[in-house]
Amino acid sequence: MYQVKNPSEIPMVILTTFQLGLFSYFWYTIDNIGFMYYLNIGFRVFILIYLILLIIRMIRQQKEIRITPDKLVVRGTQLEPSSIKRIKIHTVFNTRIGIQPIGKQFIPTKYYFQFKHSEDDAIKALRTWANENQVEVKEGHFLAWW
């Protein structure tokens, strides 16, 4: 059993807040009520909802991952090897792990995490499990989405 945490979302919160401020500035520069006015409102609502979801994700309680011989239990969800397309590992700044289920183009955020402690041992155990269960492990950048 390994403790996991959500990867830091602070850069995305800063970027999203900047975008919200930018659209708020454009709000006051649009003179007439037309298509651009309503498009601006739509973007502001979308960015505000996204910002709220990012903050909720940041403060959500940390969970764990359990590696058993026949399945992975990630944040309370059991994943059989037959339901996993690949495990992706991104190691540029901080090591982030993403488990991509079959049928999903992006990695769901509930399967996107960092190990809290003993990262090297946890990644080694995850690679060993994937090798034993014929699950592809790929290194590189990936996208996570709700």
Q: What is the pLDDT of residue 32?
A: 61
φ and ψ at residue 104, rounded to 5 degrees: -110, 135
Give strand pairing partners of 96: 90
d(CA 54, CA 119): 24
pLDDT tens by residue, 24-81: 776 666 666 677 777 777 887 888 888 888 777 777 765 778 888 889 888 778 899 9
The pTM of this model reads 0.67
